[in-house]
Amino acid sequence: ATVSVLYWWFSFKKEEVDPPPIRISHMATEPTTIKVESHMSISSITFFQMIVDKNKDLLAKEGGIAGVLKNLNADPETGITSSSVEQRIEVYGKNELPEEEEVTYWKYLKDALSDKMMILLIVLGTVALVIGLTTPEQGKSKVNYSQGWIDGTFIIVAVSIVILVTTINDYLKGLKFQALSRLTAKVPFKVRRDGKIVTIDVAELVVGDIVLFQGGTYVPADGLFLRGQGVAIDESAATGENDDKKKDTEKDPFILSGTNVLAGVDGEFLVIGVGEKSFSGTIEMNAREKGKRTATPLQEKLDDLADLVGKVGIAVALVLFVTLALISIIKAKVNNDHYEFKLLLNYAIVGVSIIVVAVPEGLPLSVVIALAYSMQAMMRDNNMVRSLAACETMGTATSICSDKTGTLTTNEMTQIKAFIGGLVTKDYNHNGTNNLNLADLHDQLSERARNMYLEAIFYNSTATKIDAPPGTKSKISADGKIWSGNKTEQGLLRWAERAAGKSVLEYRDHIPKENMRVYPFRSDKKSMTTLVRRDDPYLGEKVVQYTKGATEVIFQNAKSYLDKEGNVQPMNKEFLDEAQQHLKDFASEGLRTLGIAYREFGDHKVEFPEEDPFDDNLILIGFSAIQDPVRDEVPDAVASCIQAGVTVRMCTGDNLDTAKAISKQCGIYTENGVAMEGPVFRKLFCEDEAKFMEMLPSLQVLARCSPLDKQLLVGNLMLLGEVVAVTGDGTNDAPALKLADVGFAMNDGTDVAKKASKIILLDNNFVSVVKACKWGRNVNDNIRKFLQFQFTVNVVLLIITFIGAIKDAVRSGGDGEPPLAPIHLLWANLIMDTMAAMALSTEKPNDLLLTRPPTYRDAALISNRMMRFIIGNSIWQLAIMMTLIFDGEKLFDTSTDLSYYNGTAPYDPTPSDEYDHDKDDQKRLRTVVFNVFIFLQVFNWFHARKLYDEWNFMEGFGRSPFFLPIVLFVSAVQVFMVEVAGEFMETISPGGVRWGVCMALAFTILPYGMLLRLVPVQEPQHQQKRLDHGMEQTGEEEEEDEGEYSAHTKLQMVMDVRKQQRLLFKGTPVKAERVRKPWELALRNVQRKITVVRAFRGPRGSTLATPHTSGLSSHVKSNLSSLAAMATGG
């Protein structure tokens, strides 16, 4: 118990690892009595009805958006006052859900006490205590009150210790998981308060807040749209409708919590519903199931195995009980003795003790310890684990599909050169070693050509400069500001600033916001556009469209180009050939290119359209060549993956030549590998699937990769039986992240991508993915180490208990006592479960883990090498133990002369003395057996640390911080139990000689274990099964946990992606689902495990449990309908 407490305390309390801090601007609130004003008269139910039905009539009744702002005392420019926050919480509530299940010590104590075997042992211990204090022992006429209480009391004490250890383990584990949930739940949002833009945590949002958002944001509360450019929201998770919803103040201002912002610039919305009273909060509260816990796939496998072993243990216990009872009854009849019914109680205690020992509850515990320990350690390796199953799944990963930018490369974008007006500028290094200035461009380009290029970069970008907050670690520029936004655009803007000699802010400030409209980057168009209404000395009063994007897209849609003199020329073959040659040269250098173009609208007063006006009549200005260096550590990490049997594939938006050049630098693209672009990839799949599937294992580089291409790649690899990990950072990466076995989101990525992932890369580095793979393999290895150790103990313990008890029952005067007393069995159970789990499940990984092929997820839990360990060590231990049981009395000279039993001189013994003498001799032999058995397990721990054919079982103690302390602790407690606690532990000090022989016998397991490794073992050649293997035969769907999908669901998701690709290739639109009522849609998505709330993770609703479909529909419907009725007065 002490070791357990210390372990959990130091590992979970002392070594807490915090994620990168979120700067929270805490608002000062007045500590005075709240004055309730006449405002805020609109009820939360009215707001709910407004959102759930998108009821514009109800909004109009409240005075429209302006009326709601006034009622909530919120200003669209200054926001709310921080002094009103407390009042708003009182009226509308907090933006958090109540904890689904509070972590309390008493709760876990109750759970531990509810274990049937523990209850049975307590009952039997109590009965033994009562009988011991009321019934004389056999051969005696009086009750021995000095010792009669010992058996029953110590059974109860031993059970109490087991319950205490279990409770403390579970309680501290629960506290740690709750803390991790709280850390992952922290999401910062910018709001307007007191006339300033401040950053607060999602839980601090209140009704009336003005929330600022961009594309990629996850909507944390219900709201009304106020302003923003090009805002499109994916509401499929809440409504089931596939089309993106464009938001404006007139047609559709309603913003539902739990949805994703796909695109948008400078967006702001007014919060009108939070926490339980929001759309997603109401759905989750109705869908919750109390007390349901999720288990990882490995835990489920081990639970099944534990159930099987437990059934064997129960069968052995029942057979033993019946056998001993029959033998004792027959002996009493033959000898005409009075039958001692107390024997049945003793047999029952032995039987239950066997069950307690046989049921390997330590298996799930080892998984919990291994996963919890790994989660904490992985945080230090820059992996924030959001799903326990991800730890173990990464150990079976066979394929990693990685983004390029920021993952394989440094994401320090630098524009090296540019192609403008048919000329290539000189190279530029932003560190200042190769400077660029306006004079360089002036000598080569006309003023108009130069300015058009610079303006296209300055205006058509969402990246900008902001004031550096206190304590920032980002690089501060000379003007005291830092860059914010897209890293690619930052590289373009740094180049443009250097070339123009002006700041981006100086360029943009003289254009009023109403004269500029931004259409954010869309992956389907591979471009972004900005419209600017301006009075230009070259263009006159016109609206100018600036567009940038993939070079081939810009070239395909450009009908003319701007020459170096600034004149518009029709596109011709000579210019195209020259440009294409430069593109190839840039690509061969590993440079990424972006096309820059513009278009003019003659009418200065033309209204800005809602949709991106991109068309095929562009005027090409040129293209930029950007460098993103490969991280120094990536080539070695990729080589480690290849050695470990894990295929690394690069998915990038770059053109094919650039992708090949960079992938070669990384060590991904090899001579026999395949590299292709997304359009070719899709076409091959749709036209020749057989050839596509044959090619897929060789694919190493996918260039011009769209999000749907990544989904198609991941899905088909999974269909082939691969265990796929994928990285992503954008909103459109979310489907692939959710589809993959393990999704890695970049810490710099969008909220939507993070919520869809299972692990967040805090340093955005591919090396961290490799570390996660190493930790995953380590988890699987550690659990198997514990598994082979415990199975060995189980086999030996069951056999010696059964045979030893029968042997004692048939001898003259024997009562059928097993070689180990019940208290010994409980101590052995503690060693086997808690101690062994902590000793063997906490070893840290080493580099050798990546020199072996992965362990496939459908491989057997017990390998042939593990079977060799279990059978071989069981045989040796049984040989020693059986020798002690049958001949130990002679070998150890444990019998004494009865004539000298009661003193120094011979005397005439009484029947009571004979009984006591016989019991002492048995106890002395039992002590030897107990001692040898325990130390056999202690020495066997050393061999159990090695799963393969390693000879040096002493290697790696530095990676096992708890192993040696636990070995010393168990050894010290064993000595104490034998030498000091004899009365309680039913032991007698064996003496120095017998101690030496005990240790020598136990030590023989070490050289024997080394010889055992010489026995040749061949592991079967394993081939990963296809995802659809056996699906047709079973036809049964598996139960799913939140955030995890069964094989059937995964297969259906893959098939949906494949079908969608074929429809898109044929030009057939993907049919939207029929329009349903909001409560129907929300309910359906809860039932289908489409999580509609991710902003309320951890303490604000850590689990969206699987609802039982029966009865839930009417329950949710009635709740939502009643709210609607209350809102309408009905």
User: What are the tens digits of pLDDT across the range 633-688?
Assistant: 899 999 999 999 899 999 988 888 889 999 999 999 998 899 999 889 988 988 88
What does the alpha-carbon distance between residue 540 and residue 395 come to, in Å, rounded to a whole number? 63
Confidence band of 1005 (pLDDT split at 50, 70, 90): very high
pLDDT of residue 1074: 39
Within 8 A by CB and 6+ apart from 132, the residues are 147, 148, 149, 150, 151, 152
Between CA 1103 and CA 101 the distance in angstroms is 10
Per the model's pLDDT, the better-predicted residue between 468 and 1122 turns out to be 468
* Beta-carbon contacts of residue 719 (< 8 Å; ≥ 6 apart): 1026, 1027, 1028, 1051, 1054
Q: What is the pLDDT of residues 731-756, one digit of tens each?
A: 667 778 888 888 888 887 777 777 77
Q: What is the pLDDT of residue 1078?
A: 42
Residues with Cβ within 8 Å of 211's Cβ and at least 6 positions away in sequence, in order, are 189, 190, 191, 205, 220, 221, 223, 268, 269, 270, 271
Bridge partners of 246? 232
CA distances from 971 to 597, 835, 860, 962 (A): 77, 12, 34, 14
Question: For strand 196-201 and strand 222-234, is the pairing parallel, antiparallel, or unpaired?
Answer: unpaired
Q: What is the pLDDT of residue 439?
A: 54
d(CA 941, CA 840): 8
**Tokens (6 digits) for 215:** 């594309």
pLDDT band of residue 261 (cuts 50, 70, 90) is confident
Question: Looking at residue 161, what is its pLDDT?
Answer: 73
> Among the options 151, 170, 201, 403, which is catalytic?
403
What is the pTM assigned to this prediction?
0.68
Residue 403 designated active-site: yes
Q: In the structure encoding, which two tokens stand for residue 960, read together? A: 């096992």
Query: What is the rounded CA–CA span in Å between residue 62 and residue 68?
Result: 6
Cα distance from N-terminal residue to C-terminal residue, the chain: 60
Distance CA 875, CA 1011 (A): 14
Q: Tell me if 676 sits within 8 A of 656, measured CB to CB.
A: yes
Contacts of 767 (CB under 8 A, 6+ apart): 631, 633, 634, 637
How many Å apart are CA 1 and CA 122, to the nearest integer?
Answer: 19
How far is the C-alpha of 277 from the C-alpha of 97, rounded, in Å? 9
The per-residue pLDDT for 441 is 63
Question: Half-sphere exposure of residue 939, counting CA atoms within 13 Å on the CB side?
Answer: 22
Task: Give the pLDDT band (50/70/90) at residue 1024.
Answer: low
Give the up-direction half-sphere exposure of residue 410: CA atoms within 13 A in the CB hemisphere: 12
Mean pLDDT, residues 1018-1045? 55
- What does the pLDDT look like over 521-542, one tens digit per residue? 877 788 899 999 877 666 567 8
Cβ burial, residue 389 (10 Å; 0-12/13-18/19+): buried
| Average pLDDT over every residue of 278-298 | 61
Are 273 and 207 in contact by the 8 Å Cβ rule? The answer is: yes
> Which tokens is 1053 given?
């998701």
> What pLDDT does residue 243 have?
58
What is the band of 433 on the pLDDT scale with cuts at 50, 70, 90?
very low
* Per-residue confidence (pLDDT) for residue 900, from 0 to 100: 47
* Spatial contact of 660 and 635, defined as CB atoms under 8 Å apart: no
Q: Cβ contacts of residue 1046 below 8 Å, gap of 6+?
A: 1037, 1038, 1039, 1040
699 backbone φψ class: left, alpha, beta (φ>0; ψ -120 to 50):
beta
Count other C-beta atoms under 10 Å from residue 152's C-beta.
21
> What digits encode the pLDDT tens for the residues 326-361?
888 887 777 777 667 777 777 777 777 677 666 665
Return contacts of 476-483, CB within 8 angstroms, 24+ apart: 479/503
For residue 1104 the two structure tokens come to 């969206």
Residues 545-592 pLDDT 10s: 999 999 989 999 999 999 988 899 999 999 999 999 999 888 888 888
Dihedral sign for Cα 79, 81, 82, 86, please: negative
Alpha-carbon gap, residue 323 to 327, rounded angstroms: 6
pLDDT of 14 over the 50 cut:
no
Give DSSP secondary structure letters for 384-423: EES-HHHHHHGGG--EEEEESTTTTB----EEEEEEETTE
Query: Using CA atoms, how far apart are residues 977 and 971, in angstroms rounded to an integer?
Result: 10
Position 935 scores a pLDDT of: 94
Q: Name the nearest CA neighbour of 44 among 287, 288, 281, 227.
A: 281
**Six-digit token string for 784:** 């198997």
Q: What's the confidence (pLDDT) of residue 530?
A: 92
Q: Any idea which residue has 């290697």 for tokens?
A: 955
CB under 8 Å, gap of 24 or more: what pairs does 1023-1026 form?
1023/721, 1024/398, 1024/720, 1024/721, 1024/722, 1024/723, 1024/856, 1024/858, 1025/721, 1025/858, 1026/719, 1026/720, 1026/721
Are the CB atoms for 498 and 241 separated by under 8 Å?
no
* Percent with pLDDT over 90 in the chain: 20
41 pLDDT exceeds 90?
no
Q: What is the CA radius of gyration of the chain?
A: 36
Mean pLDDT over 1099-1116 rounds to: 35
Q: Whole-angstrom Cα distance, residue 240 to residue 1082? A: 8
Q: Which residues pair with 1062 in a beta bridge?
A: none
Instruction: Give tens-digit pLDDT for 72-116.
Output: 999 999 999 999 999 999 899 888 877 666 667 787 788 777 766
Biggest alpha carbon–alpha carbon distance for the chain: 130
Distance (Å, rounded) from C-alpha 943 to C-alpha 947?
8
Cβ atoms of 728 and 703 within 8 Å: the answer is: no
**Token output for 853:** 């092929």
Q: Which residue has the higher pLDDT, 151 or 931?
A: 931
Measured from the Cβ of residue 889, the count of other Cβ atoms closer than 10 Å reads 16
* DSSP classification of residue 958: G
Name the residue among 1064, 1066, 838 with its Cα closest to residue 365: 838
Q: Tell the residue number behind the tokens 């979120």, with chain if given.
A: 22
**Environment class of residue 874 by beta-carbon count within 10 Å: exposed (0-12), middle (13-18) or buried (19+)?**
middle
pLDDT single digits (tens) 758-807 = 888 888 888 888 898 998 888 888 888 988 998 898 889 888 888 888 88
CA 387 distance to own-chain centroid:
2
- Higher confidence at residue 1070 or residue 698? 698
CA–CA dist 756, 743 (Å, integer): 7
Task: Give the Cα separation of 993 and 980 in Å (integer).
Answer: 18
